[in-house]
Structure 1
C-alpha cells in the first residue's frame, strides 16, 4: 500500500500559505469563504471573513452551503449505479424511457450518455424561467430583476423540462461542441424516478449520499438552509449594489441539477470515495472520465465527462471535480486523478466582476486571488 507521503507528486500541506491564500481572497472582495484540503492522512481546514455582513459573524469551516452544480456529480453517480446494475443503458435513446418528455426524433436520437455529458444539444431552460437573464452569456443584456421576483416561486420540474425541450436546440444530438444545460439533468432526475419508482432526490439520498456516509449533505425541503450557514450575497455583475442576500431562496428551479446543500468536508469525502470506486464501479468511473467538448454557461469551451470535468494547470497533474454557482453562493470541489490530494472551497459572493466598456467583464482581484488559492491547495 503506497504511503502518500512518499508519492512523487506529494507536496506537504503548508497551513500558513493556505491560510494566507484564503485571507487574500477575502481581502480581494469576497465577504467570507472556507475550505478543506486533504492530502493522504493530512487535512487542513480554514476560513476567512464574515458569514453575515450586518452582524460581522465570522465564517467557519464547518458551515453548510448551497453547492450548486456540484450536485451534478451526485446525480450522475446515481445514474451510473443504475448502469452498473443493468437497469439503464448509457447509449439507449432517452425517449425509450421518457417518451412523454422527449418525444419524436430527439427522443429517438438523444442518448442517456448525451444527457450526462451535455452533448444532447438541448437548450437551457433558465432564461425562459428568469426572463431578465435571457441575454446570457452577454452580461450587459441581462438584469437581476427575475431573481427577486421568483425568490419563493415553486416550479414544477416537468414544466421546466418542457421549456428546455421545446426551445430551439443548440446543436444536433451528439454534435460538438454541446451546450452545458440544466435541462439535461432535470431529465436525468426524471429518468431515475421512471426507472426506480422513487423520487430522484430520495433515490440519490439513499444510494449516493447515505452510501458515502455524508451526514451534512441534503436536498432542501423549502427556501431555507437548515443548520449553521452563511448568508449568500449576489452582485449580478455590479447591477445589485450593494450585493443582496439570497440565502433564502426556493431551489425548485434547479432540483437534482444544482440544489444540494453540503459542507466542504462532506464534499471531499464524497469525491474521495467516488475516485476510489466505492460509489460506482471502476468501469463506470472510467466512463465518467471520458470527455467531450461543450460550451459552458459562461460561453467558454470546456471538456466535460459524465457529471464531472478535468481541471489542470499546464504541465501539472489533472484534478477531477465540479464547480457550482447559485444566487450568492459559489463552490468548487476537485480531487487529483490518483485520489491523493483534494480541495473543497465555498464562498458567499457571486458574479463580482463588472462589465467593461467593450462589453466583456473587467478583471477583478478576486479572480487572481482564487486562482492563487487553487494553485496553493492543489500543487503546494
Structure 2
C-alpha cells in the first residue's frame, strides 16, 4: 500500500465520525482499544487485522501484541511491590545486587528511583539493535552511556533495573514478573516468545509498517511456527537481562492490560498500598521552560516512579482536543506499534477512568492539538468521547 491520505468515509469506518472531521492519515493495519469510567465494563473497539491486512486474521481482545514501552509500567509496579514487601529500598544504591559500583561520573550513587524516573544520566547508544553490549553488566561497559543527570528517556534504565531485580530475587526477569504481577492479576503475558504455546502464537500480531512498496512486517510472524527461546537453559539471572527486553518486550493482550488498568484505576490494595499507588501517579520530575530536559518534542511533561504523568498541556501531552483530562500511565512506540495505557484513578467523588490502545501500520503524521501522532489523537477521540467524561 502506498502512503496516502484517506477520505472521510474511510476514516469514519476506522475511527468513527469525529476522526473524519479532524484528521487525514493512512488508516492503520489494525487496532484495539478500550475505555471505561468507574467500575463499568470496558467499552472495546476492535478493528482491522493482526498483521498484513490481506493475510492476517482480524484483531480480537485476546490478540497478543508486543506492547513496547508499556513493558516499563509493568516493571514499575513490580519494583513498588517489592519495595512494599521490604525487599528493596528505592533510594539505596544498586551496587550490592549488580556486583559493581553504579556511579554517575559526578559521584552520585544511582538508585531504583533514578532509573524509574529517567534521571540516572544513562543514555541509549545505537548498537545495531542492542542498547548495550551483551556481556555481564559492569562499570566499564556502562562508561560510554553516561551524560548529564537531567531527565532524558532511556531504555537502558529498564535493562539495568531489570538485571538488578534478577540478582535480588535470583530469578529470570520473565519469571519474576510472572510471580509478582502477571499471576496475581491473571494476565496472559510473556517476555520470551520462545515460551509461547502453539495456541498463543496463533493469536500473536505481526506488526506492520506501510511503505512505498506496501506493507512491511516489523516483527517475526509467530504464527508460522516456533521460534528459538531468547534465554536458554544456560541463562544466568543477574548478569544482563537485555535478551529478555524488559524495556519493551512484553507480549500481552487487551484483556490483560484491562486487568492492570482497572487495578490502577480502582487503587486496588491487593496490588499496591495507597502509598504505592500515589508514587505511580504523583510526579517527581516536571519539565521547566528553558530547561535542559529532553521532553521528546513536548510529549513528556512529568514523570513519577516509572509512569508518565499527563498534565493536559496544549500542544504537548494533551489527551483530547478540548483538554480537561489528566492521568498517568505509559506510551509505546516501536516496530510499527503505537500504544498507550492511561489511567485517572478514583478519588473522592470522582470514579476515575482508564484507556488502552494498541495500533500498528500507520504513518506517524503529526497531530493537531498535541505531540501525539494524528492517528493517536483519532483513536483517543474514538475511545474517550463515548464514556461520559467531564
Q: TM-score range by the shorter chain?
A: 0.7 to 0.9
Please give the alpha-carbon distance, in whole angstroms, between the structure 1 residues aligned to 2:192 and 2:298.
Answer: 29
Which structure 2 residues correspond to residues 294-333 of structure 1 after superposition, within 5 A? Answer: 295-296=294-295, 301-313=300-312, 316-333=324-341
Give the deviation of 1:106 after TM superposition.
Answer: 6.6
Q: Which of these residues, 374, 382, 385, is aligned with residue 373 of structure 1?
A: 382
2:214 paired with 1:242 = yes
Alignment size in residue pairs: 327
Give the deviation of 1:128 after TM superposition.
Answer: 2.5
Task: Please give the TM-score of this superposition, normalised by the length of structure 2.
Answer: 0.71
Which structure 2 residues correspond to residues 66-215 of structure 1 after superposition, within 5 A? Answer: 66-100=66-100, 102=102, 108-125=108-125, 127-130=126-129, 156=134, 158=136, 165-172=142-149, 176=150, 178-214=151-187
C-alpha distance after superposition, 1:293-341 (max 9, x if no partner): 4535567542111121222546524222111122122221112232632
Please give the alpha-carbon distance, in whole angstroms, between the structure 2 residues aligned to 1:257 and 1:334.
Answer: 18
CA gap 1:346/1:300 in 2 versus in 1, 3 angstroms: closer
Q: Which runs of 5+ in 1 are unaligned?
A: 1-15, 134-153, 355-361
C-alpha distance after superposition, 1:265-285 (max 9, x if no partner): 211211221332321222122
Q: Verify the 8 A CA contact 1:33 1:49 in the aligned structure 2.
A: yes
Structure 2 equivalent of residue 352 of structure 1:
364
C-alpha distance after superposition, 1:39-92 (max 9, x if no partner): 322321121223332336332333111111111111111111221122211111
Q: Which of these residues, 228, 232, 256, is aligned with residue 203 of structure 2?
A: 228
Please give the alpha-carbon distance, in whole angstroms, between the structure 2 residues aligned to 1:365 and 1:118.
Answer: 26
Structure 1 equivalent of residue 256 of structure 2:
266
Q: Verify the 8 A CA contact 1:26 1:33 in the aligned structure 2.
A: no
Q: Verify the 8 A CA contact 1:93 1:107 in the aligned structure 2.
A: no
Taking only aligned residues, the RMSD between alpha carbons, in angstroms, comes to 3.7
Task: Please give the TM-score of this superposition, normalised by the length of structure 1.
Answer: 0.73
Please give the alpha-carbon distance, in whole angstroms, between the structure 2 residues aligned to 1:241 and 1:374.
Answer: 32
Q: Verify the 8 A CA contact 2:280 2:328 in the aligned structure 1.
A: no
Structure 2 equivalent of residue 12 of structure 1:
none
**Going by fraction, where is helix more abundant, 1 or 2?**
1
CA gap 1:155/1:347 in 2 versus in 1, 3 angstroms: farther
Q: Verify the 8 A CA contact 1:36 1:344 in the aligned structure 2.
A: yes
Structure 2 equivalent of residue 150 of structure 1:
none
